[in-house]
Amino acid sequence: MKIAFLITRSDTIGGAQIHVRDLARRLVEDGHEPLVITGEAGPYTDALTAAGVRTLACRHLGREIRPGRDARAFVALRGAIRAFRPDLISTHSSKAGWLGRLAGKATGVPCLFTAHGWAFTHGVREPQRTAYRLLERAAAPLAATIVCVSEHDRRIGVAAGMAPDQLVTIHNGMPDVCASLRARPGAGDPVRIAMVARMDRQKDHATLLRALRDIDGVHLDLVGGGPSGATVRALAHEVGVADRVRFLGERSDVAEVLARAQVFALISHWEGFPRSTLEAMRAGLPVVVSDVGGAAEAVEEGVTGYVVPRGDVAAVRERLVALAGNAARRQEMGVAGRRRYEAAFTFDRMFQRTLGVYRESLASYSAGW
């Protein structure tokens, strides 16, 4: 099977990029022929090339809405698809999703769109939220199937006016790591909390830092860069926790960082279905996550971790105190989290379900979709 993946950004390697990378790499291993088309070449395309995946940069494909540039991107994408002649187009991220679906329609190639968290989810500012909802509803009929990475996203897609039978939920899955990268949540002196998240307006580092202020003897590792980095650093000093916070920046060894932690936290304003929570459960860590988007779908409340209300400093503090002060509870929840990862969130499980959707979409298109 020949599959053209479209994703907008190559200057960063976030959840959507990792999702495409892992799928494309596995497809190559299984004898398929993927091509990943991105905006300008960058660290992401370098990583794909190193993994044996063919890439193509479309310099007109950008994140911002710019009609003239977007029209040129559409022409370039249409030409690339005609040259590659894929059986299927798989689009990821809003801009690539819109242009890719139009290019699929123009070339007669069936197209899928994967929503890694809708751009009109709760927490996104107006008027952008309404504009994105209208755009996504208009583009929906151009896709054979829309894959949602959480059931929450599927429900809000239906509420936005998309056809229920067009949307399917496939939760993210993560490749496993070796046993040496399993955490020891019952150890730790001091107890170390890890949060893996880009520092931008989607994530709520401020609530976590304010919760940490009144928890003695607990340290925090923050993995990730981004435009809000200076603001987060300043707040750490302002609330008096800077001496207990390590800013680790962008890292290629996230699994190693998590292996040294005892608790994982992901405090956010909005999410799709975050992969970092799965990485933490894979490592055997108890998790504390904000109840936004589909984030809670990974967590078995009170068994593998806790879900806290959005922006609730007191609730975050309460759960972290409960975990920091009880090594046996951390260990028990970490073991349960690892089991849940193995049962529901492995990469192989996600890959097989995704491959099934590819085949179903091709069959339905051949039958006259």
- Note the pLDDT tens digit of each residue in 39-78: 988 889 998 999 999 999 998 998 887 889 999 999 999 9
The pLDDT of residue 134 is above 50: yes
Same domain, 117 and 226: no
- Is the distance from CB of 140 to CB of 173 less than 8 angstroms? no
Q: What is the sign, positive or negative, of the torsion defined by CA atoms of 151, 156, 157, 161?
A: positive
Question: What would the pLDDT profile of 179-202 be if each residue is shown by its tens digit?
Answer: 999 999 999 889 999 999 999 999
Tally of structural domains, the chain = 2
Q: What is the pTM of this model?
A: 0.90
Residues 6 or more apart in contact with residue 216 via CB below 8 angstroms: none
- Is the distance from CB of 357 to CB of 166 less than 8 angstroms? no
Same domain, 314 and 357: no
How far is the C-alpha of 82 from the C-alpha of 85, rounded, in Å?
A: 5
Same domain, 136 and 242: no
* 303 DSSP assignment: T
Same domain, 117 and 185: no
Same domain, 162 and 255: no
- Is the distance from CB of 17 to CB of 42 less than 8 angstroms? no
How far is the C-alpha of 232 from the C-alpha of 223, rounded, in Å?
A: 12
Q: What local confidence, expressed as pLDDT, does residue 366 receive?
A: 67
Residue 140, domain extent: 2-173+347-366
The pLDDT of residue 122 is above 80: no
Same domain, 196 and 58: no
Angle, helices 313-324/327-344, rounded to nearest 10 degrees: 110
Same domain, 135 and 20: yes
Tokens standing for residue 258: 């998590």
Percent of the chain at pLDDT > 70 equals 99
- In what helix (H) or strand (E) does residue 255 lie, and over which residues does it extend? helix 254-259
Same domain, 166 and 56: yes
Q: Residue 368: pLDDT band by 50, 70, 90 thresholds?
A: low
- The side-by-side arrangement of strands in the sheet containing 218-223 is 245-249, 218-223, 191-196, 263-266, 287-290, 305-308
Q: What is the CATH number of the domain that holds 36?
A: 3.40.50.2000
How far is the C-alpha of 162 from the C-alpha of 154, rounded, in Å?
A: 9
Q: What local confidence, expressed as pLDDT, does residue 369 receive?
A: 46
Q: What local confidence, expressed as pLDDT, does residue 127 receive?
A: 87
Same domain, 166 and 66: yes
Residue 10 sits at φ, ψ, to 5 deg, of -125, -5
Same domain, 159 and 199: no
The pLDDT of residue 249 is above 60: yes
